[in-house]
Chain A
């Protein structure tokens, strides 16, 4: 192996490799990431406070940020807030997991079978356009005001998003990968596991993220409409209670909580997963530049 000719090739290659290695851009600093959204939130709060001080509307219609905060703190002191948040989050989380369990196989089957796709595809995209709140009345008639109603509405909202995301991901798998997979000996299930699903992962994760957003919205719609003592108290019921008692500060507070939970789950769970998947697939802008 120590032929001078060979050695020359090795060094030539090493030179080419080191000249051509891709350089990844440095990560953005935490400050650069956090500062702009914080400034935006502060601006919204300041505008709100300004309108409140200017007295454009009476206090009971437009309470100030401080009143909303106190009202939430009071409710939290009575334990109402925490149990509402916990009830809603656990319902939303469980409903989402069941939606994933249903939407994933559905997406694979519809994405891979032409016949089933022609039949079911339009229904799935249609369902995605239907606001899931529309399912609440029939679900209440059929199942009564029960947890079953709430989970039905969550599933009908989230399953189409998850399935459609996976279908889009499968559609974008380059045919070359499937060809390579077949040449490597991946057929049937092993082709699905080793080629198809990993290649479709970016679309699937986007679908999961949207599925969570739909699950959370559907849950709120269901909780606001379907309230009963037996059902337990969620954030939607907290909103409804605010409406019944004409308590605008509590209503604003509950909306703020709904937003915080929705955004929080997105930022803490889905955003990191999505970043990792995109980076591992070489799809982030940082790696391209």
Chain B
């Protein structure tokens, strides 16, 4: 916790010297210290092999670090993946209701709450559809509603829009920012797409590869609504891309 003028600003995620090595392999992550303020939107950016997904698993508590500590406000974070990972045997509404049920919400409230969450992502009309009857973008919106249903302070997103077409991705960026501005959950968003990171985040953290360490970070002051085509977004993207390329080049020299 950081003390500023007598007020405490809560940290949603606090990583201190986190390292991860899988048995017999080279270190995947090394000395990662990062804190995410409550309500902050942080993008983790890196080429493949930087251990982005491993880091998210550590934050989510699905895996334990071999060094350092992970602290999470509320002790729990909701996860979203590249594939929607909705359960195909349940309708959109039932998928959301399952998250509510496993969180312990009484049966009577689940139905109404699931409808409310689906209407947040503007999919109340699709509540009775099964995942295979929905488009990729709609599935990710249901997955977002399911993640919100977990009631966590922290939302972890692992390249959630990477498999979508450009138009749908753009719409989902707008949707995500709208929801974030509305609910102010703390977000850690992993991507390898620089423009996506600049489009969304308040802070972009660049990771090195093999092992993953924090190379640099940028604060993004561009006001919302942003667009990928905005000059300011493009300019910062060019700068960050240059650093990312430099990181990748280092691996070409052996």
Cβ-closest chain A residue relative to B143: A180
B215 proximal to A (CB < 8 A): no
Determine if B174 and A186 form an interchain contact, defined as CB atoms under 8 angstroms apart. Answer: no
Q: Which of A12-28 contact B (CB under 8 A)?
A: 12-14, 16-17, 20-22, 24
> Which residues on A are within 8 Å of B, measured CB to CB?
5-6, 9-10, 12-14, 16-17, 20-22, 24, 176-177, 179-180, 182-186, 190, 194-195, 198-199, 201, 280-282, 287
Determine if B171 and A12 form an interchain contact, defined as CB atoms under 8 angstroms apart. Answer: yes
Q: Which residues of A are found within 8 Å of B184, using beta-carbon distances?
A: none
Determine if B102 and A186 form an interchain contact, defined as CB atoms under 8 angstroms apart. Answer: yes
Q: How far is the CA of A17 from the CA of B142 in the complex (A)?
A: 13
Q: Which of B61-115 contact A (CB under 8 A)?
A: 62, 78-79, 81, 83, 85, 87-90, 98-99, 102-103
B135 proximal to A (CB < 8 A): yes
B128-170 interface bits toward A, Cβ cutoff 8 Å, 1 = contact, 0 = none: 0011111111100000001000100000000000000001100
Q: How far is the CA of A13 from the CA of B138 in the complex (A)?
A: 9
Cβ-closest chain B residue relative to A19: B135
What are 16 A-B pairs with beta-carbon distances under 8 A?
A: A9-B178, A13-B122, A13-B171, A13-B175, A16-B137, A17-B126, A20-B138, A22-B133, A184-B99, A184-B102, A185-B102, A194-B102, A198-B90, A201-B89, A280-B130, A282-B131
Least distance between A153 CB and chain B CB atoms (Å): 35
Determine if B168 and A16 form an interchain contact, defined as CB atoms under 8 angstroms apart. Answer: yes
Determine if B135 and A183 form an interchain contact, defined as CB atoms under 8 angstroms apart. Answer: no
Q: How far is the CA of A21 from the CA of B134 in the complex (A)?
A: 6
By Cβ-Cβ distance, the 6 closest A-B pairs, closest first, are A282-B132, A20-B135, A185-B102, A183-B79, A180-B85, A198-B89
B37-61 interface bits toward A, Cβ cutoff 8 Å, 1 = contact, 0 = none: 0000000000000000000000010
Chain B interface extent, by class: 35 or more
Question: Beyond A17-B138, A282-B132, is A6–B171 a contact (Cβ under 8 Å)?
Answer: no
Q: Which residues of B are found within 8 Å of A16, using beta-carbon distances?
A: 135, 137, 167-168, 171
Cβ-closest chain B residue relative to A288: B132
Determine if A190 and B102 form an interchain contact, defined as CB atoms under 8 angstroms apart. Answer: yes
Least distance between A15 CB and chain B CB atoms (Å): 9
> Which residues on B are within 8 Å of A, measured CB to CB?
60, 62, 78-79, 81, 83, 85, 87-90, 98-99, 102-103, 122-123, 125-126, 130-138, 146, 150, 167-168, 171, 174-175, 178, 225
A22, A183, A194, A281: which contacts B134 (Cβ < 8 A)?
A: A22
Least distance between B223 CB and chain A CB atoms (Å): 13
Q: Given A14-B122, A194-B98, A199-B89, 18 more contacts at CB 8 Å?
A: A16-B171, A20-B138, A21-B133, A21-B134, A21-B135, A22-B132, A22-B133, A179-B62, A180-B87, A183-B78, A184-B102, A194-B102, A198-B87, A201-B89, A282-B130, A282-B132, A282-B133, A287-B132
